[in-house]
Amino acid sequence: MNEFLKIPENESKNIKNLDEILTVKLNLGGVEAGKSRKTLKIGSTKYYKRKSGQFIYGKQNFFNGGFGIIPSNLNGRVSSGDVPSFDILNIDKLFLLNLLSRKDYFKSKERFSTGTGSKRIHEKTFLNFKVNSSNNIKEQQKISKLIQKISQLITANERNEKSDSFKITI
């Protein structure tokens, strides 16, 4: 990951309400504002400002699909040190997300978690994970579009919608 992700300069920020906090949902559920989580509390935790387009994950939950890309509508929100973010370099964001979203990939990383009680995958450990990728950004973007269209087709079929008119073009 070292060639694709970089730990950004962390800017701490004081917060006044839960809506300012980012939360990463399990099972590839994405990133959302924390207001909807009833277990969050504002306290003595130090929070850091995050930017849209960054990769973010829960140290305790990467291997449970607790990661995503920060969407533009959540730019400037915060997370604690247990939910770090990274700047993405030299790789298409969606392509990276698709690589990491394979269940066999993220589940296999649990063995790298450390600590007593709640085990975590720390940033430096995470950055040493390997992913196989094409170096061609245009090729990555085409693959990402194809995966996105296939996902849309699957969703349409699951909803029993007419999918006869669905057309895949690359």
Q: How far apart are CA 157 and CA 151, in angstroms?
A: 10
**pLDDT value, residue 148:** 87
Q: Using pLDDT thresholds of 50, 70 and 90, give the confidence band for residue 163.
A: very low
* 118 and 124 Cβ atoms separated by less than 8 Å: no
Decide if pLDDT at 30 tops 70. yes
Three-state secondary-structure class, residue 70: coil
Three-state secondary-structure class, residue 114: strand
Decide if pLDDT at 169 tops 80. no
Three-state secondary-structure class, residue 26: coil
Q: Is the dihedral of CA 1, 72, 113, 109 positive or negative?
A: negative
**pLDDT value, residue 107:** 95
**pLDDT value, residue 154:** 84
Could you report the per-residue pLDDT of 127-156, keeping only the tens digit for each?
999 988 877 899 999 998 998 899 888 878
User: What integer is the mean pLDDT of 31-44?
Assistant: 70
Could you report the per-residue pLDDT of 38-81, keeping only the tens digit for each?
556 677 689 999 999 999 999 999 999 999 999 999 999 999 99
Could you report the per-residue pLDDT of 90-131, keeping only the tens digit for each?
999 999 999 999 999 999 999 999 998 889 999 999 999 998
* 27 and 61 Cβ atoms separated by less than 8 Å: no
Which of residues 161 and 51 earns the better pLDDT score?
Answer: 51
